[in-house]
Amino acid sequence: MAKLYFRYGTMGSAKTLNLLAVAHNYQQKQMRVLLIKPEVDDRFDRLHIRSRAGLQKPADLLVHSETVLDTDRFEGVSCVLVDEAQFLSRSLVDQLRDLTLTLDIPVICYGLRTDFRSHLFEGAKRLMEVADSIEEVKTICSFCEKKAIFNLKMVEGKAMVAGPQIELGGEEKYLPTCARCYHEKTHHAQEEFEQIHERRELLQ
């Protein structure tokens, strides 16, 4: 039986580069891959899957939260590769899970596990629940040499602890950090946020 894979990592861990390398390996063997990406991801080019290294391939299918996958699109496909899988809806993850069972096609999803507040994304949460294989794509902290596990959001040089979960950006906004550096950078930011919130409540 084909498997559902979730390969997660922080920002800057070369997840998309990994995906493109897997796609290349399949195509070198004359095997067909189908590339999927959420249409909300328009940082570089909405129609392409592009790594920060500059490599890219056109996406075969753009999806949104209400997408219903047409199984006819997967006829003759040897592998399905999904970029930015954290943005998938629970329903889409379940449909990808079903593809592995009904069509016997492996599905490999790449994405973030958590947001800048260390909370699971919807797609990542469901993948953690139902994937056959969960693998970490590793990189190091932006401030030390320890393994990065968190995504730190920075605006004008300051760590952010509040704001919308989905706010697209690259290395100019999000940095991979270890647990200690994440705590150090966000602890002061959290205190400032709480003080501002308290002052606003007093003025109301």
Question: Does the annotation count 184 as an active-site position?
Answer: no
Residue pair 93/125 in contact by the 8 Å Cβ criterion: no
Give me the half-sphere count of Cα atoms (radius 13 Å) on the Cβ side of residue 137: 22
Burial class of 83 by CB neighbour count within 10 A (0 to 12, 13 to 18, 19+): buried
Which of the residues 39, 66, 75, 84 is marked catalytic?
84
In 3D, which of 108, 133, 150, 131 has the Cα closest to residue 13? Answer: 150
Any idea which residues carry the catalytic annotation? 84
